[in-house]
Amino acid sequence: MFVAIMLTLVTVGSILFHFFSPWWWTEVASNWGNIDDTIILTFWVTGSVFVAICLFSAYCVWKFRYQKNRRADYEPENPKLEWWLTILTALGVAALLAPGLVVWNQYVTVPKDAYEIEVMAQQWYFSYRLPGEDNKLGTSDIMNITDDNPFGINPNDPNGQDDVLIDGDDIHLLIDRPTKVLLRSIDVLHNFYVPQFRAKMDMVPGSVTYYWFTPTRTGYFEILCAEYCGTGHYAMRGWVSVDEQEDYQAWLQEQETFEEMMARNNDNKEIEIVAK
């Protein structure tokens, strides 16, 4: 009796916890609200199975508790019942999988007009690069990285000259513009994750990964590294600000391009030489 009650309490407790818990996801700030929907769907399907199985066991434990002069049934199998359960489970699983794959298809199919930005990770911070006026990011290579050229942009690539560089500051995004983030790392694995955007992808040294989203709500959101990257992993944060058009333009005007940065570096060097 006691065991049956405890099993029931665990089940009911779990349900109550779910409905009354103050811990739930943040309000979504991107177009990936349908990811939340797939989670909710999974919740209902699997949650009801969990509750059914736990309550059924609790009932059995109470109803068929040991009695000296009773015998258990002798029933090696019941193929009909087993096959029905198999088919039902398969249907349930298919009901979870199909919508999931549809949304995944959206996730990996980047719209053609998506605005490309680059996020570059290293231990333990993010920096960003916007394509500038020509809307094209210049090529880059880890081998080009120097103190003057921290992004490793190819200095001979005309597309790279007007790239806007944001090193050690927040990134701003324009609301309602589909954005494709190109992810690059120059040392170890990292991940670019904003809880409110729901999306994430690892950044792998030696290759460029990507995902896309459309910010749908203005605000100031925290960026987290979600792939373990060494002792400073927990401190690897950044901030993204989703702006309306006006604010965004104002911010963009203030940023430095690659050309300007190289020029500034050269000036600094000349000043140093002169000073010497």
Partner 1 sequence: MVPDNLDEAVNKSNSVPDLEVKPQDLYHANSFITRWIFCQDAKVIGIQYSLTAIAIGLVAMVLSWMMRLQLGFPETFSFLGPAEYYQFVTMHGMIMVIYLLTALFLGGFGNFLIPLMVGARDMVFPYVNMISFWIYFLAVLILVASFFVPGGPTGAGWTLYPPQAITQGTPGSGWGIVLMLISLSVFVVGFTMGGLNYVITILQARTRGMTLMRMPLTVWGIFTATVLALFAFPALIVSCIMMTLDSLLGTSFFMPTMVELGEKLEYGGGSPILFQHLFWFFGHPEVYIVALPAFGIVSDLISVHARKNIFGYRMMVWAIVFIGALSFIVWAHHMYVSGMNPWFGFFFATTTLIIAVPTAIKVYNWVLTLWRGNIRLTLPMLFALAFIVTFVNGGITGLFLGNVIVDVPLSDTYFVVAHFHMVMGIAPVLVVFGAIYHWFPLITGRYLHEGMGQFHFWVSFLGSYAIYFPMHYLGFIGVPRRYYEMYNSEFIPTSAEGLNQFITIAALTVGFAQIVFLYNIIVSSKFGKLAGKNPWQACSLEWQTPDVPPGHGNFGKELPVVYRWAYDFSVPGAKEDFIPQNVAPNEVPEAKAEQT
Beta carbon of residue 68, minimum distance to partner 1 (angstroms, whole number): 9
Strand order in the sheet with 171-174: 171-174, 237-243, 219-224, 190-193, 200-203
Inter-residue contact 153 to 163 (CB < 8 Å) = yes
Q: Which stretch binds partner 1 (CB under 8 A): 1-9, 127-135, 171-179, 241-249?
A: 1-9
Task: Tell me whether residue 54 or residue 262 sits nearer to partner 1 (CB atom).
Answer: 54
Q: Is 78 an interacting residue with respect to partner 1 (CB under 8 A)?
A: yes
What are residue 209's DSSP bridge partners? 183
Member of 118, 179, 198, 214 binding partner 1 (CB under 8 A):
198
Q: Which stretch binds partner 1 (CB under 8 A): 20-28, 127-135, 165-173, 255-263?
A: 20-28
Q: Is 226 an interacting residue with respect to partner 1 (CB under 8 A)?
A: yes
Under DSSP, is residue 5 helix (H, G, I), strand (E, B) or coil?
A: helix
CA–CA separation, 162 and 149 (whole Å): 14
**What are the backbone dihedrals phi and psi of residue 10, each rounded to the nearest 5 degrees, phi first?**
-60, -45
Alpha-carbon 55 to chain mean position: 36
Tokens found for residue 265: 């570096």
Beta carbon of residue 192, minimum distance to partner 1 (angstroms, whole number): 10
**What are the backbone dihedrals phi and psi of residue 43, each rounded to the nearest 5 degrees, phi first?**
-55, -50
CA–CA separation, 217 and 21 (whole Å): 25
Member of 15, 103, 250, 263 binding partner 1 (CB under 8 A):
103
Beta carbon of residue 31, minimum distance to partner 1 (angstroms, whole number): 13
Q: Is 182 an interacting residue with respect to partner 1 (CB under 8 A)?
A: no
Alpha-carbon 143 to chain mean position: 29
Q: Which stretch binds partner 1 (CB under 8 A): 83-91, 242-250, 255-263, 266-274?
A: 83-91
Member of 38, 149, 159, 218 binding partner 1 (CB under 8 A):
38
Q: Is 12 an interacting residue with respect to partner 1 (CB under 8 A)?
A: no
Q: Is 195 an interacting residue with respect to partner 1 (CB under 8 A)?
A: yes
Task: Tell me whether residue 132 or residue 240 sits nearer to partner 1 (CB atom).
Answer: 240
Tokens found for residue 222: 């925290």
